[in-house]
Amino acid sequence: MRWVLYPIAALLALAILGLATLAAVSLFAWPNLPSLESLTDYRPRIPLRVYTSDGHLLAEFGEERRDVVRIAEVPSALKHAILAAEDERFYEHAGVDPLGIARAALANLTSGGRGQGASTITMQVARNFFLTREKTYNRKLYEILLALKIERELSKDQILELYINQIYLGQRAYGFAVAARAYYGKTLDALSLAEAAMLAGLPKAPSAYNPVVNPARAAVRQQYVLRRMLEAGFIRQTDFEAAIAVATPTRSQRDTAVARKQHADNIHGEYVAEMARQIAVEQFGEQAYELGIRIFTTVTRKDQEAAYAALRKGVTDYDRRHGYRGPEAFASLAADSASDEQLDEVLAEHSDYDDLLAAVVLQATPKQVKVYRRGEEITISANGLRFAAPMLADKAPQARRIRRGAIVRIRDNGDKGWEIAQVPEVQSALVSIDPRDGAIRALVGGFDFNRNKFNHVTQGQRQPGSSFKPFIYSAALERGYGPGHVVADEPLYFPAGVTGSQAWEPKNYDGKYSGPMTLREGLARSKNMVSIRVLEDITPQFAQDYVGRFGFDSSKHPPYLTMALGAGSVTPWELAGGYAVFANGGFRINPYVVKEIYDGNGKLIARTDPVVAGESAPRVLDPRNAWLVDSMLQDVVTHGTATRARSLKRNDLAGKTGTTNDYLDAWFCGYNPDLVAVSWVGFSQPRNLGRGETGGAAALPIWISYMSAALAGAPEVQRPRPDGLIEVQAGDGSRTDYQYAEYAPPEPPLAPEWLRDMFASEDGPALEAPEEATPSFAPRPPPSAQAPAPVVDRIPVPIRR
């Protein structure tokens, strides 16, 4: 019997020695364990989130996507799934499960390695907060000790709540609340039993069991969790059978496609979100990405989506007018075949831009093109090739021809099928504001934020062209002009001695002249000669000072006659604020994009308090001036350069087109009393847009498309005529117009009573009124016309229209 007792005694001695060693190590290690303050005062890193004014998420900024939920908010199905997958005896052990350790040790001894762990949920919390994931016995010892310490200071529900909020689950999702949204587009309480089991299976290996990336392995893990839930008595057999029936790779792909579609359908507010992010970082530094700050912007989902769609369509239409340029690049493919892995590697270098998807051409003929994209071969023919047809022809240059290995863009055109497209090179911008307080309703700073992050709305300093003329005409009204005042639309010439540099002979856009016309007609038809003559009369110096009241930087509008043609520098943001003064009746407001900021606890920490037209905003324009300019800008829409806008079938629209010299910039600035919108089209590095690409042709369609959605269902608003205006006959006799009362033609003097009686007598003498008493009804010249305008020192190279 001794030979039997010796081994047992030896094992007992080793066990005692091991326990003694463990006790000694623990005795020395325990005092060195870290404080649990980070657990008792749990402050996870929650990303900065930016929302629309109506509560829709625009963007998240931060390395970790996380939502903190209380344990009471976690449905029992998810809690049971987590316990079944990770720690069935969680509510029974004291932080360390001896049975689990023994089972893992036996498995590791059998396999000769350390592959299987025995971590309880408490031990995983200890590791996630305080330790690394290295597999060493020393780290495991500290993990065990920390778990025991955590169990002494926190309740079981507190520990489980920390685990549910802290654990990483793939897709940049930290915690189950964000994972539910990331994978299924749902809140926790909306998860099905099968979906809860899928999420509960992720902590073991988020990358390996990711249902988006690897639905087959994810389904196997999902089925395992469901079986463990049944064995533990957490669910009934009927519940198990119903859930296991949908725990398949196919169902996994279908269910998680909901989240993928939700991601694809995100509101395109990247430029707005970036503006909000910059404001947050300025206020809170780099901690802005961890404090759970929520920023509510002023944009609405309806307006933002309408603006994005309008801009994309307008730019795409412009791009198609100018033809297909050819493939973006070429990849070397074997003549016979190429594996999906090789093709995927080629496509990895070419990002998608919303619906413009990158694809590799496998075969190409003038009648059919076969492309590869993400494991799928797509055949494009008929109308889908129309745009790219010139580069499929035999005579197409080799460097631009669509052939095998070409990288092209494809787009799903709905019922019309797939088509070959291209990423436009031209840029555009659209911004809309509420003229009452300056709240930005929509803002799109470029065609695609992921391709070009430069915000053309706020950063793009460009020449405004004729879209600046209304501010010059407004200045003229303050110097005695009226809309019916007649000015000559005739050629002008300024010799070098006058300009101080080279001779200048400005022209109208179409090179034609119409002779004398009213200011109203000159603005509607965007006549450059009329604008120049008016500015020459009121003086560029006066106009430069005057435009400052609209919020423009006067220094960017030099006091030369070319100011009449918009030769200065503005951003769409500034133009929107300027036109708002006409839209709101003469008040200067300040455009703003951030409405409110909340901290991680939901406490309001900042709110914009805007000035409001008619209340706190300063009046910078005589209400009569605003009304007269508005009436002239309405004529631009009804019978001027913006008649396309009549398609909206509204009678409260006003605006002005603008096209700079050599077609470098195309603008349309327009509004009704409730909404101002400015659209711009041009290249980031200015170059010719192409002949005929005017504000009315390139920018106005974008404005119309946006306004048709933004004003849908909104009643028409007509602004009442203010006091202080009188009716006068337009100088060309074309219509009755209005003018400031103090600048109106004088009434004829009344004759003496005895003279009136004499003329009233039937047999009285036929007397003629004395020459000096003959009334003159000619328009009264503006005060500035009584003295010659100063000669300008220098006139820079002009722009037109």
Pairing of strands 604-607, 594-598: antiparallel
Q: Give the chain's length.
A: 801
* Residue (of 301, 300, 294) closest to 607 by Cα position: 294
Joined tokens for residue 545: 């000072």
Q: How far is CA 471 from CA 112, 564, 781, in A?
A: 85, 9, 20
Mutual orientation of helices 76-86 and 193-200 as an angle, nearest 10°? 40
Spatial distance between the Cα atoms of 154 and 660, rounded to a whole number of angstroms? 70
Q: How far is CA 151 from CA 133, 146, 203, in A?
A: 21, 9, 21
Q: How far is CA 472 from CA 486, 629, 658, 722, in A?
A: 16, 10, 14, 21
* Residue (of 93, 96, 97, 117) closest to 105 by Cα position: 117
Tokens 């360390």, residue located:
96
Cβ contacts of 356-359, under 8 Å, gap ≥ 24: 356/409, 356/411, 356/421, 356/422, 356/423, 357/409, 357/410, 357/411, 358/328, 358/407, 358/408, 358/409, 359/407, 359/408, 359/409, 359/410
| Cα angle 383, 704, 649; round to 5 | 110
Tokens 């951003």, residue located:
571
The distance from CA 417 to its chain's CA centroid, rounded to whole angstroms, is 28
CB-count exposure of residue 403 (10 Å: 0-12, 13-18, 19+): middle
- DSSP designation for 113: S
Q: Is the dihedral of CA 112, 115, 116, 120 positive or negative?
A: positive
Spatial distance between the Cα atoms of 396 and 378, rounded to a whole number of angstroms? 23
Annotated catalytic residue 86? yes
Mutual orientation of helices 193-200 and 249-264 as an angle, nearest 10°? 90
Annotated catalytic residue 161? no
Residue 493 contacts residue 505 (beta carbons within 8 Å): yes
CB-count exposure of residue 136 (10 Å: 0-12, 13-18, 19+): exposed
380 - beta bridge partners?
A: 369
Residue 798 contacts residue 565 (beta carbons within 8 Å): yes
Tokens 């803002």, residue located:
443
Residues 86, 274, 290, 305: which is the catalytic one? 86
Residues 119, 252, 432, 466: which is the catalytic one? 466
Q: How far is CA 23 from CA 28, 98, 117, 127, 545, in A?
A: 9, 16, 21, 21, 85
Mutual orientation of helices 176-184 and 249-264 as an angle, nearest 10°? 90
Joined tokens for residue 261: 């579609």
Residue 420 contacts residue 384 (beta carbons within 8 Å): yes
- DSSP designation for 474: H
> CB count, 10 Å around CB of 141?
14
Spatial distance between the Cα atoms of 668 and 424, rounded to a whole number of angstroms? 20
Residue 739 contacts residue 730 (beta carbons within 8 Å): no
Q: Give the largest CA-CA distance in the chain.
A: 166
- DSSP designation for 788: P
N-terminal to C-terminal alpha carbon distance within the chain = 113
Which positions are catalytic? Answer: 86, 466
